[in-house]
Amino acid sequence: MASRIHAVPPEDPDDGDEPVDPFDTDRLRYDEAEFACGGVTSRKVITAIKVRKPGTQEWFRLHPAKEYQLPTALFLRENEELLRPETYLVLPECRDLFGKNHLTPVRLRLAVNSLETVFLWDLKVPKDGVMTDYFITLHEIAEEAENNWVRLEWSNADRVYHYHYAEGDLGDPQFPQGKTMRDWLALGFKGRIIDSEDHPVVAEFKGRSGA
């Protein structure tokens, strides 16, 4: 008996799944419940902070405790690629490698702005001990910032900084707890501590190869 050959019908182009519309609003809708973290809690870990002067557009406070103030010396390395010099903490035994004229005496102050960003203000002090209007006003502002939210304003006419009080209630300053001034120094000067004569910045300053 001859076998029968059954013809396979051609595929219907309309069979199967329809192409997915990537702009289907029903599919794209995100239920707010999906944003929930399922009760997972977290704790912020600060890995680094800036050493800088407060900006003229930020409200800031200074920690009033004496243990969060440190008179010390910094080396400001000029860098054409950056808007401001690189700040290096110079250990006492290395200060003579630069000479007093090339070091910047400062009082480091722990600061926080209204966005809860912590930083160290490298508040400059005069090298010769003479308190000009520039230094006097800066230190007056620092004292005021221990108790009030303030914002700096530079005056080209007077060549000093003035300041503003915050008109609204910005709340209490949120200084992170549990860290000492040593901890903040470690976060502020990561990789920027001059601790030996062989440091590359010293070699550069002396005009010799750092290799």
Express each pLDDT in 152-194 by its tens digit. Answer: 999 999 999 999 999 999 999 999 999 999 999 999 999 999 9
Lowest mean pLDDT among 6-10, 24-28, 33-37: 6-10
User: What's the pLDDT at 3?
Assistant: 52
The full 3-state SS of 115-128, as one line of letters, equals: CCCEEEEEEECCCC
In a domain, 17, yes or no: no
In a domain, 189, yes or no: yes
User: What's the pLDDT at 21?
Assistant: 86
Mean pLDDT in residue range 59-66 = 98
Conformational region of residue 136, where left means phi above 0, alpha means psi within -120 to 50, and beta covers everything else: alpha
- Higher-confidence residue of 34 and 136: namely 136
Confidence of residue 39 (pLDDT cuts 50, 70, 90): low
Instruction: Give 121-149 pLDDT, tens digit per residue.
Output: 999 999 888 889 999 999 999 999 999 99
In a domain, 22, yes or no: no
User: What's the pLDDT at 81?
Assistant: 74
Residues with Cβ within 8 Å of 151's Cβ and at least 6 positions away in sequence, in order, are 54, 56, 57, 58, 59, 60, 163, 164, 166
Residues with Cβ within 8 Å of 150's Cβ and at least 6 positions away in sequence, in order, are 59, 60, 61, 141, 144, 163, 164, 165, 166
Among 164, 137, 135, 161, residue whose Cα is nearest residue 59: 164
In a domain, 6, yes or no: no
User: What's the pLDDT at 210?
Assistant: 53
Confidence of residue 40 (pLDDT cuts 50, 70, 90): confident
Max avg pLDDT among 7-11, 14-18, 62-66? 62-66
In a domain, 180, yes or no: yes
Q: How many domains does the chain have?
A: 1
User: What's the pLDDT at 51?
Assistant: 97
3-state SS assignment for residue 44: coil
In a domain, 40, yes or no: no
- Higher-confidence residue of 210 and 188: namely 188
3-state SS assignment for residue 166: coil
Given a cut of 80, is residue 8 above it in pLDDT?
no
Residues with Cβ within 8 Å of 187's Cβ and at least 6 positions away in sequence, in order, are 46, 47, 48, 49
Beta bridge partners of 111: 62, 119
In a domain, 101, yes or no: yes
**What predicted TM-score, i.e. pTM, was given to this entire model?**
0.79
Max avg pLDDT among 10-19, 39-48, 145-154? 145-154
Burial class, 146, CB count within 10 angstroms (exposed 0-12 / middle 13-18 / buried 19+): middle
3-state SS assignment for residue 152: strand
* Domain that residue 59 falls in: 51-206
Q: Are 68 and 181 in contact (CB under 8 A)?
A: yes
Q: Which helix (H) or strand (E) holds 72?
A: strand 69-77
Share of the chain above pLDDT 70, in %: 86
Residue type, 86: E
In a domain, 136, yes or no: yes
